[in-house]
Structure 1
Amino acid sequence: MSLDKPDTPTERPAERPARQSRTGLTSTGVRKAAAKSNRSRAREFALQALYQHQVGRNDAASIDSFTRDLAGFHKADAAHYDALLHGCIEESAALDAVILPLLDRKMIEISPIEHGVMWIGAYEFKHCLDVPWRVVLNECIELAKEFGGTDGHKYVNAVLNGLAPTLRAAEVAADKVTGKAR
């Protein structure tokens, strides 16, 4: 009889029971990403469209037609997407005029992604008063993190944080009084 082999067939280790799903966590304990809202998706598609406008110089109608055919567009808030795409393009000069004083470099040196994100932020500050300024700021930071350069979100944060008191003065002031804004 050999000492290294048992006389009985090898037993398999008992299989582990399936892990219980904990709300907000994956099976490995990592926090699940929150499902994106239809407005967040609209901002993503608008940013991609604004990039096409800036880099490819494509007109809004052809960009719009192309973007609506992309996978996942049906999950986006189409009305918000329309407002952002067409509004940012139509008001690009006015949006640049309010953004430019807050920049530490020439606009041409800003990446098209960060430029587009700043357009979206400035446009929403001006026209989407149903969206709190802090939500606009956070959404734009997340866009810059997802699509922009390594630290582009920090630059976008600084610029839009500087712009908010100008375009949403009463709302920012009220948040400072309640301690919600720094």
Structure 2
Amino acid sequence: MSEPTPKPAKAKKPSLTTQRRQARSYALQALYQWQMAGQPVNEIEAQFRVENDMRDTDVKLFGELLHGIAASKSELDTLFSDYLDRSVEDLDPIELTILRIGSFELLKRIEVPYRVAINESVELAKIFGATDSHRYVNGVLDKLAQKVRSAEVRAKR
């Protein structure tokens, strides 16, 4: 009697956390491209969807971040500018984009705990930013969270 042939293992779907982290990473890259090249957001989104394997990505979040941040850029910049040690124009483009992502999540994605929004931005800064940019991003977003999520911050302390 022959042994049964083992079934091939199903590819495990990545966790929602992993899918969202990938969406933030792609959003950072797409927003950086938008900021530097001035290309329309719709074109950049289409390009990213064609050129990247987005099966392990929360595509809805990617689109929300890309379009939402582009649409509210001035509001976001004003929101965190009080916590900068330089002008928004003098920020490194990567740091600026990461601050916009973190600010957007703190302001518009209230279902995301403030600590998660900050931590995800810090992780992006560690990967894409300059050596100590993660500390700068953390400090700015922590102060912003105390303003826009004051009740949540107080409840956690």
TM superposition score category, shorter chain reference: 0.7 to 0.9
Pick closer, same or farther for the CA change 1:159–1:70 going to 2, 3 Å. Answer: same
CA distance in 1 between counterparts of 2:149 and 2:50 reads 35
Alignment-derived partner of residue 135 in structure 2: 154
Pick closer, same or farther for the CA change 1:36–1:146 going to 2, 3 Å. Answer: farther
CA distance in 2 between counterparts of 1:57 and 1:39 reads 25
Tell me how large the CA RMSD over aligned residues is: 1.5
Normalising to structure 2: TM-score of the pair? 0.87
What amino acid does structure 2 have at the position aligned with 1:126? Answer: L
**1:102 equivalent in alignment to 2:83:** yes
**1:57 equivalent in alignment to 2:57:** no
How many Å apart are 1:74 and its aligned residue? 2.0
For the residue of structure 2 that corresponds to 1:149, the secondary structure is coil
Within the candidate set 25, 31, 45, 1:44 is matched to 25
- Once the two structures are superposed, the pairs formed by residues 1-182 of structure 1 within 5 Å of their partners are 37-176=18-157
Where structure 1 has 5 or more consecutive residues not aligned to the other structure, the ranges are: 1-33, 177-182
How many Å apart are 1:35 and its aligned residue? 10
Alignment-derived partner of residue 9 in structure 2: none
CA distance in 1 between counterparts of 2:59 and 2:52 reads 14
CA distance in 2 between counterparts of 1:145 and 1:161 reads 16
CA contact (8 A) 1:45 1:73 kept: no
What amino acid does structure 2 have at the position aligned with 1:111? Answer: D
**Where does structure 1 differ by over 6 angstroms across 4 or more consecutive aligned residues?**
none
CA distance in 1 between counterparts of 2:51 and 2:110 reads 28
Please say which structure displays the higher CA radius of gyration: 1
CA distance in 1 between counterparts of 2:71 and 2:16 reads 31
